Amino acid sequence: MEWSNLVESCGLNGETKLIFIGGGNMAGALIKGAINSNFITKDDIVVSVRSKESAAKWIEDGFSNTFTDNNEMLKKFPLGVVFICVKPQLFGSMVDQLEEGILHASPLVVSIMAGLSTETLSQKLIHTGYSHSMIRMMPSTPCLVGASATLLCYNSLPINNRLSLVTSLADCAGTCTILEEKQFHAASAVAACAPAYVFLLIEALADGGVLAGLPRKDALNLATQSFQGAAKLVAESRKHPGQLKDEVCSAGGSTIAGVRVLERAAVRSALIEAVKASTERSEEMSKMK
C-alpha cells in the first residue's frame, strides 16, 4: 500500500507528509529505501537540514520541500508524521528552539536517535504540544537496498492504528521487529551497529584474497557473495550456524585450518565484546540530559 492510501486508511488527512528533522545518513537511507520500494514519492517527503549547502543538495536531488528552519517547516506542514533524526547530543538544543505548541497537530512523532528513551523524548517534547504515543525506530543503512533489520518500540500511551504507519515504512525497507523498550539497547547493537562489523569483515576477507594473489575486484566480489550466501543459507535452512559451519569443515581440510586461525585470534569473542560495547554505549547515551 502506498503512503497516501495508508494514511487515509488510518483516518488521517490524505495529504499527510513524512517530515524529517535532520537529513543525515540514516534519514537519507530510510527515505531512499522507501522510495526504491515505491512506498513513497519525493513529494511525500519534507526534510529540514542545518545548512543551505545541505538543503541545496536535497533540492537538487528532487526533494522540493526542503527547509533549514524547523519552525517554518512545521508551520507549513502541521499535520505531518514527524521523524526526529538529529544526533542525540543535539536533540535538547533542537527541541528548545521549537516554538510553543508547534507539534500539537502532528498525529505521530518517531525518534530515530540512538539511546534516548521514550520517557526522555516525551518529557522534552511537552512544550511542543505533542501528547500522543512516542515511537522509537532504529533502522540500519541496508534499508537503502530493502534489507534493513529495523527495530521499533513505543511507550504505554494509546498507539491505535498509527503504529501501522511506521511498521509499513519499516517493512518496505527490510524486516521490522517490535520489542519491549528494555531490549532496545541490545537489539540496536546487533541490528543497527552490526552492518559496520560486517563491512569490516568483508573488507578483511577481501584483503586476505589480495594477499593470496587475487585481483582486488575479484576478491571483493567473492567476499561479498560469500557473506550474502551464508546469511541466506542460515535464514532459509533454519539450521544453527554452528551446524552449517561443521558441514563446511571437512576432516583435515583447508576450511578447518582457517577456522583454527580465527579461533586462535578470538574472532568470536571480539564480536561478542563489540556487541556488548555498543549496548553499553547506547545505555550511556540514554542517561544523557
Amino acid at 166: V
The annotation status of 40 as a binding-site residue, yes or no, is: no
The annotation status of 160 as a binding-site residue, yes or no, is: no
Record the cell numbers describing residue 5, joined without a space.
Answer: 492510501
Record the cell numbers describing residue 274, joined without a space.
Answer: 563489540
The annotation status of 23 as a binding-site residue, yes or no, is: yes
Question: Up-side HSE of residue 10: CA atoms within 13 Å toward CB?
Answer: 25
Backbone angles phi, psi at 93, to 5 degrees: -70, -35
Residue labelled with grid coordinates 586476505: 208
3-class SS of residue 73: helix
- CA geometry: angle 37, 114, 150, nearest 5 deg: 30
Do the Cβ atoms of 20 and 47 come closer than 8 Å? yes
Identify which of 148, 142, 150, 146 has the alpha carbon closest to the alpha carbon of residue 179: 150
The annotation status of 21 as a binding-site residue, yes or no, is: yes
Indicate the annotated binding residues for NADP(+): 21-26
Binding residues for NADPH: 70
Annotated binding-site residue numbers: 21-26, 70
